[in-house]
Chain A
């Protein structure tokens, strides 16, 4: 059965998208991403160290842009201008690749999105030809707005970034998925494999995560667990779960028992 994720016309076999932050070192980053099976990998853009640390390893030596779709993010941006500038830098860095993960944050405590500012940034970026995957609240009305304006994927949070609290509002996520004509990916808040499976069972097209893997005691093993959870959740969604009942329903025949 072919069941691929399609984002902006490009086909991906994996529905797990992973970040590259918070790992112990580059080698662990590489090993975890390998184990996750992810094909889309997020990166941040930061000032290059000038002078004193010449020759330090470059992330792109470990995560090859030829092999992975690299998704530059706008993490750390709290206003439209810095988010837009970051996307332009990302596109230049990656040789013209237009796919970006847009996030415009509201405050440092919650890292919740500043949705009105995110809308403004998305509008500018789309006009400049960017393909915007947008981080937003689990708000079905805003998700629809982002889709209508031309974002190629909408990525509602499950819970605050890095919180590991799991899906706080599954009913909203389901509503967003039901209304959507573009891929919906849960971005942020997943803590463990069951959270990822639940997102997929709700019908999400994929899940983007970083901390749940990087902060696990064994990140490589957790990456493998997440890969399986995403696949299991997707298959369960496609299979269609049984209805919930208030009381039992025997699985063995009630007729033909040798005791009467």
Chain B
């Protein structure tokens, strides 16, 4: 499946849900995720199905003022 993750086109196999993507990318749980500019709550990671061409943003807290 072709996705755009944090601005980079990515091709991923065997990934159907957002939870599977998070696991495959070995992401820390302290993230927030937006797909096609809509928030996906942590509670829906397991049920949220990914679609071809989805634009995914994964963010975390960093230093800022």
Q: Which residues of A contact B (CB under 8 A)?
A: 19-23, 29, 42-48, 50-51, 54, 58-60, 70, 72-73, 75, 85, 88-90, 92-93, 161-162, 188, 208-211
Contacts and interface: CB of A to CB of B under 8 A. Distances in A.
Interface residues of B, number: 26
Interface of B: 5-8, 25-28, 30-34, 37, 39, 41-42, 57-65
B65 A93 contact: no
Nearest to B61: A43
The SS class assigned to the A binding surface is mixed
A55 to B, nearest CB: 9
A162 B7 CA distance: 29
A192 B25 CA distance: 43
Given A51-B25, A89-B59, A44 B64 contact: yes
A85 B32 CA distance: 11
Contacts of A44: 61-65
B34 A89 contact: yes
Given A47-B57, A50-B25, A21 B63 contact: yes
17 contacts: A19-B64, A22-B63, A45-B59, A45-B60, A45-B61, A45-B62, A45-B64, A47-B7, A47-B58, A48-B59, A50-B8, A58-B28, A58-B60, A88-B34, A88-B39, A92-B32, A210-B64
Contacts of A21: 63-65
A43 B34 contact: no
Contacts, number: 99
B64 A48 contact: no
A40 to B, nearest CB: 12
Contacts of B57: 47, 89
In this complex, which of B28, B34, B65 has the most chain A Cβ atoms within 10 angstroms of its Cβ?
Answer: B65
Contact of A20 (B7, B27, B65): B65
A67 to B, nearest CB: 14
A50 B27 CA distance: 8
In this complex, which of A48, A85, A92, A209 has the most chain B Cβ atoms within 10 angstroms of its Cβ?
Answer: A48
Given A48-B27, A58-B28, A161-B65, A93 B60 contact: yes
Contacts of A92: 32-33, 39, 41-42
In this complex, which of A75, A85, A210 has the most chain B Cβ atoms within 10 angstroms of its Cβ?
Answer: A85
In this complex, which of B8, B25, B59 has the most chain A Cβ atoms within 10 angstroms of its Cβ?
Answer: B59
Contact of B59 (A22, A46, A59, A211): A46
